[in-house]
Structure 1
Amino acid sequence: MFGDLGHGTIVMLFGIWMIKNEREFLRQKSDNEIWNIFFGGRYVITLLGIFSMYAGFVYNDIFSKSMSLQWWQFHPAFSPELHKSEDVMTKELFDIHPLVGRGYKFGIHPIWTMASNKIMYENSLKMKLSIIIGIGHMIFGILLSFANHL
Structure 2
Amino acid sequence: MKKSYRLIVGTVMVILFCLIIYSYFNVSGKEIIGVLNIKTSSNVVIRKSYQDGTNKQEYVLNANQIEMLKTLVLQSNFIRSLSTTVKFNDKDMHEIIINDNEADVWLIIHCIGNEWISIANQFNGRHLKINNPNWKNTIEEIIALSN
TM-score by length of structure 2 reads 0.27
Q: Higher strand share goes to which structure? A: 2
Q: Higher helix share goes to which structure? A: 1
TM-score by length of structure 1 reads 0.26
* Structure label with greater radius of gyration: 1
